[in-house]
Amino acid sequence: MAEKKEINGLLDLIKALFADDNWYLGGFIIALILFIIYDVIAFTPH
């Protein structure tokens, strides 16, 4: 596990989080991202 893992994108990062049994952390990050997107869409004046 000493070798460096290359993260090429957000999807790879999420896969790495879930693969390392940090599913709660991955779920938290996804929920946070979705909340930010919802917040921007819902409260930005159109």
Average pLDDT of 4-21?
67
pLDDT in tens, 20-43: 666 677 778 888 999 999 999 888
Query: pTM of the prediction?
Result: 0.45
pLDDT at 8 over 70: no
Burial-class residue 5 by CB neighbours within 10 Å (0-12, 13-18, 19+).
exposed
The whole-number pLDDT of residue 17 equals: 67
Average pLDDT of 14-23?
69
